[in-house]
Amino acid sequence: MKARWLAGLFFLGLLALGGCAGLAPQTFAIKDQPPADMPLRAELSSIPFFPQEDYYCGPAALASALNAAGARVTIEKLIEQVYLPGRKGSLQSEMLAAARRHGMVAYVLDPDLFQLLREVAAGTPVIALENYGLSWFPLWHYSVLVGYDLARREAIRHSGPKPREAIPLGLYENLWLREGRWAMVVVPPERVPATASERRYAEAVIALEKAGQTRNAHVAYAALVKRWPASLAGLMGVGNTAHALHDLSTAETAFRQAVAAHPDSAPAYNNLAQTLLDRGKFDDALMAAQRAVALGGPLLATARATLEEIRRKQATVTRAR
Amino acid sequence: MKVFLCRLISYLLVFSLAGMSFTTQAALIGTHEVVQQASAQSDRERVRDLVARADVQQALQAYGVSPQTAQERVDALTDMEVQEMAGKLGTLPAGASGTGETILLALLLVVVIYIILQYVYK
């Protein structure tokens, strides 16, 4: 109760310093009419709360989000992975990287308040970077959004020592927009965030793959393809990760789908050729490789090398007969 | 520190040069190359990335992270994240606190500024 009064007072203080609408433009915009395409309220009651000790809001927020996504992680482990002692806090990129290390897709949301709320409505808590201070005297903080109520114009979040703290939505928006409107979600690989775009989700899965999480990335690429069936990145990702996991049959299927959907993609033909070669299907491999070379493009050298290798292998097999 | 960094960079350069054959290898084209529509990453870009990673790893250590942990943390960052962080560990936002005292402090600041503004505009 006290916190709400304090927060309200703080907000009034902000209002006194400058105009009204500019402080929380999106909240102000729905003052008379909430958006029609989303539920009026939502609350995620099962998001675990990890009380935060001094300076550890990053690990605490991540612990909530990661455990909610299904990863059993302790705050202690996350402190080691994300806390920067010399800065007494956690950097945004390291928050994303730490989520990846636990096999989850870390996705940065669009800088739009309602996209944050939509994620909550879809069941995903949102970690937001807030600034309690001023641009020249910042006081950064991570909180976990677990609910909202558009009729009462409230945001409900886990923050610091307080679970499910309700604050005015305008205040939440203001604290969040001060540091570039940055917010992230953590999702298990089989789920695509509700507000995700194809390109940026593909980038998030690629980041997961590059962090060495091949199996989880494979699942995430499959989810990508399920949501965007013609996605070249998705199909290539499924194929590449399957290949890395020595599942050549799945890899071949994925690359065949890729060339069917993208007949002018030299990389897709190249990777199909390589996979067919690995499966001993030399004639098909040769055809695919020749197609890749014919299509040209910036990765022509690789396609040529693949073609050469197929020819070499074919010659070896012929000689052996 | 500087000696260590220079040595690290030399090792990395040697390894990357040794790894680069003079002919391109047959290989699977990576998913990231499709998304970024990249030209095959030039050797210079590859070295630049390696140097940036070494730089960020060093910086993490300077800010109190153990060498082993720093390595693991950098390995999970994307190339773009590493580029954004290089040289900026001291100034990037670091989410830290959220206790009631912080709110009070911020509130106090607001009140103080308001009072100052009142005087300025009198």
Q: What is the 3-state secondary structure (H, E, C) of chain A?
A: CHHHHHHHHHHHHHHHHCCCHHHCHHHHHCCCCCCCCCCCEEECCCCCCCCCCCCCHHHHHHHHHHHHHCCCCCHHHHHHHHEEHHHCEEEHHHHHHHHHHCCCEEEECCCCHHHHHHHHHCCCCEEEEEECCECCECCEEEEEEEEEECCCCEEEEEECCEEEEEEEHHHHHHHHHCCCCCEEEEECCCCCCCCCCHHHHHHHHHHHHHCCCHHHHHHHHHHHHHHCCCCHHHHHHHHHHHHHCCCHHHHHHHHHHHHHHCCCCHHHHHHHHHHHHHCCCHHHHHHHHHHHHHHCCCCHHHHHHHHHHHHHHHHHHHHHC
Token digits for A50? 């990890």
Q: How many DSSP H helices and E strands does chain B contain? A: 6, 1
Output the pLDDT for position B44. 81
Contacts of B77 in chain A (CB under 8 A): 93-94, 97
Tell me the per-residue pLDDT of B45-78, one tens digit each, with 9 for 90 and over: 888 889 999 999 999 999 999 999 999 999 999 9
Nearest neighbour of A58 by CB, restricted to B31, B63, B95:
B95
In a domain, A202, yes or no: yes
DSSP structural state of residue B22: S
Considering CB atoms only, which of A140, A237, A304 is closest to B94? A140
User: Based on the structure, what is the number of domains in chain A?
Assistant: 2
Among A206, A208, A232, the strongest candidate for a mutation testing the B interface, having the largest count of B CBs within 10 A, is A206
Same domain for A99 and A182? yes
Check CB contact under 8 Å for A306 and B38: no
pLDDT at A90: 96
Gap from B48 CA to chain A (nearest CA, Å): 18
Q: Are residues A173 and A264 in the same domain?
A: no
The reply to whether A207 and A130 lie within a common domain is: no
CATH of the domain at A141: 3.90.70.10
Element housing B118 (H / E): helix B100-120
Judged against a pLDDT cut of 80, whether residue B20 lies above it is answered with no
> Is the pLDDT at B24 greater than 80, yes or no?
no
**Residue B38: Cβ-neighbour burial (10 angstroms; 0-12, 13-18, 19+):** middle
Q: What is the pLDDT of residue A33?
A: 81
Rounded Cα distance between A240 and A220, Å, is 13
Residue A72 shares a structural domain with residue A133 = yes
Determine the residue of chain A that is closest to B116 in CA distance. A17
Please report the sign of the dihedral spanned by the C-alpha atoms of residue A300, residue A304, residue A305, residue A309: positive
- H helix or E strand, kind and range, residue B61: helix B43-62
Q: Which residues in B lie closer than 8 A to residue A197 (C-beta atoms)?
A: none
Domain-terminating residue out of A161, A187, A213: A187
Of B50, B45, B42, B41, the residue nearest B9 (C-alpha): B50
Q: Are A160 and A63 members of one domain?
A: yes
Domain boundary pick from A187, A221, A254: A187
A271 domain-assigned: yes
* Residue A264 in domain: yes
Same structural domain for residues A156 and A275?
no
Is the same domain home to A148 and A209? no
Q: What is the mean pLDDT of residues B82-106?
A: 79
Residue of A nearest to B115 (CA): A17
How far is residue A131 from each of residues A140, A175, A177, A229, B29, measured CA to CA in Å? Answer: 5, 5, 8, 40, 42
- When CB atoms are compared, the residue of A84, A139, A305 closest to B64 is A84
Give chain A positions within 8 Å (CB) of B37.
298
User: Residue B122: what pLDDT?
Assistant: 52
Q: Do A16 and B114 touch (CB under 8 A)?
A: yes
**Contact between B73 and A97 using a beta-carbon 8 Å cutoff:** yes
**Which of A187, A213, A245 is a domain's end point?**
A187
Question: Is A69 contained in some domain?
Answer: yes
Q: What is the pLDDT of residue B120?
A: 59
The count of CB pairs under 8 A between chains A and B is 197
The residue ranking higher by pLDDT, B104 or A319, is A319
Give, as one character, the DSSP assignment of residue B23. S
**Whether residue B19 has pLDDT greater than 80:** no
Averaged pLDDT, B3-22: 62
Claim to verify: residue A169 and residue A233 sit in the same structural domain: no
Structural domain including A152 reads: 2-187
Task: Note whether A37 and A168 are same-domain residues.
Answer: yes
Positive or negative: CA dihedral A314, A235, B29, A301:
positive
- Domain residue extents for chain B: 2-97
Calpha distance A236→A251 (Å, rounded): 9
A192 within some domain: no
Q: What is the mean pLDDT of each run of 10 residues along chain A (321 residues)?
A: 61 55 80 85 94 89 97 96 95 98 98 97 97 82 95 91 89 91 98 97 97 97 97 97 97 98 96 96 96 92 93 87 70
Q: Are residues A206 and A183 in the same domain?
A: no
The amino acid at B99:
T
Mutate to test the interface with B, among A93, A177, A274 (most CBs of B within 10 A): A93
How close is the nearest chain B Cα to the Cα of A33, in Å?
Answer: 31
In terms of domains, do A267 and A202 share one?
yes
Q: What is the ipTM of this complex?
A: 0.87
Shortest alpha-carbon distance between residue A120 and chain B (Å): 21
* CB-based contact A141 B96, cutoff 8 Å: yes
Q: Give B44 to chain A, closest Cα distance, Å.
A: 16
- Tens of pLDDT, residue by residue over A180-213, are 999 999 999 999 999 999 999 999 999 999 999 9
A106 lies in the same domain as A9:
yes
Cβ atoms A158, A164 nearer than 8 A: yes
